[in-house]
């Protein structure tokens, strides 16, 4: 297989000339230059899927908003990372994420430590712009250490990717279609019965919400374990 030669590209972000390598994404180069673009499904060290659409940007010449985490840089391209159009779309995306499942922060184990909650404050999102669907999914608390609560899930697939790409267990997948899609273990068995799961906890500590969490742990332990696992993921392949 012939690999594409990596070249230096010059382009603009918010009117400023920026350089990066041709194999980099807009998000990677922006962050290298201190330009913040919000994300939810993205996690450094894991493959990029662009599923949450929080990192949408405008690219001159395109009528569509493009996810920065999957868009490779090109010579001469012009990128805008924030505008009234982008902000309005990000608020609508957040509104839909909140409305599809149960994200009542006051009753969630991740309250105060949730990326979805944080994004709503950063934008800010004062109110939900679409009706709540009030879906309810069965909680899987069968595992001796962990809980899977689909009602808090935003389907970012971080758990699937870390299980596949870092742990190599391939124990987690998606089942259902559309609004009924949910995270499952093996062939939709109770988590405790999974033959593939190694109980490493990586999936739990890359989850951006309270969809996956560990039982009976202190806040200090949560931060410590998350820090270790996020550092492991970040340094993948280095």
Q: What is the pLDDT of residues 98-155, one digit of tens each?
A: 999 989 888 899 999 999 999 999 999 988 999 999 889 999 999 999 999 999 999 9
d(C-alpha 31, C-alpha 143), whole Å: 38
**Residues 57 and 95 reside in one and the same domain:** no
Total number of domains constituting the chain: 2
Confidence of residue 5 (pLDDT cuts 50, 70, 90): confident
* Closest-CA residue to 68 (of 29, 100, 109, 107): 29
pLDDT in the model for residue 142:
98
Within-domain flag for 1: no
**Residues 44 and 107 reside in one and the same domain:** no
Q: What is the pTM of this model?
A: 0.93
**Residues 211 and 108 reside in one and the same domain:** yes
**Residues 43 and 153 reside in one and the same domain:** no
Task: Quote the radius of gyration of the chain (alpha carbons, Å).
Answer: 19
pLDDT in the model for residue 207:
98
Q: How much is the average pLDDT of 155-177?
A: 97
Structural domain of 122: 89-234
d(C-alpha 95, C-alpha 128), whole Å: 5
pLDDT in the model for residue 3:
57
d(C-alpha 27, C-alpha 33), whole Å: 10
Give, in order, the Cα–Cα distances in Å from 54 to each of 25, 87, 91, 120: 15, 10, 9, 11
Q: Would you state the structure tokens that stand for residue 86, as one six-digit string? A: 């982008």
Within-domain flag for 3: no
d(C-alpha 84, C-alpha 72), whole Å: 24
Q: How much is the average pLDDT of 50-70?
A: 96
pLDDT digits (tens, 9 = 90+) for 86-107: 999 999 999 999 999 989 888 8
* In the predicted structure, residue 1 carries a pLDDT above the cut 60: no
Q: Give backbone dihedrals phi and psi of 50, rounded to 5 degrees, phi first.
A: 65, 30
DSSP per residue, 58-81: EETT-SS-EETTT-B--TT-EEES
């Amino acid at each position: 297989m012939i690999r594409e030669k990596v070249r230096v590209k010059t382009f603009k972000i918010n009117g400023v000339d920026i350089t990066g390598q041709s194999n980099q994404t807009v998000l990677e180069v922006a962050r290298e230059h201190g330009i913040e673009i919000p994300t939810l499904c993205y996690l450094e060290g894991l493959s990029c899927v662009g599923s949450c659409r929080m990192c949408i940007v405008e690219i001159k010449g395109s009528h569509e908003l493009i996810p920065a985490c999957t868009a490779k840089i090109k010579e001469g391209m012009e990128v805008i990372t924030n505008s009234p159009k982008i902000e309005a779309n990000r608020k609508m995306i957040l509104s839909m994420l909140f409305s599809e499942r149960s994200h009542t922060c006051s009753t969630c184990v991740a309250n105060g430590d949730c990326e979805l909650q944080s994004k709503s404050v950063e934008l800010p999102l004062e109110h939900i712009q679409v009706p709540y669907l009030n879906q309810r999914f069965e909680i899987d608390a069968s595992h001796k250490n962990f809980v899977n609560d689909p009602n808090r899930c935003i389907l970012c697939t971080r758990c699937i990717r870390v299980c596949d790409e870092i742990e190599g267990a391939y124990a987690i997948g998606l089942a259902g279609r559309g609004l009924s899609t949910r995270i499952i273990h093996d062939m939709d068995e109770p988590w405790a019965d999974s033959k593939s799961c190694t109980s490493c906890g990586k999936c739990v500590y890359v989850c951006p919400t309270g969809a996956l969490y560990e039982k009976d742990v202190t806040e200090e332990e949560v931060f410590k374990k998350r820090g270790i696992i996020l550092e492991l993921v970040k340094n993948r392949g280095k």
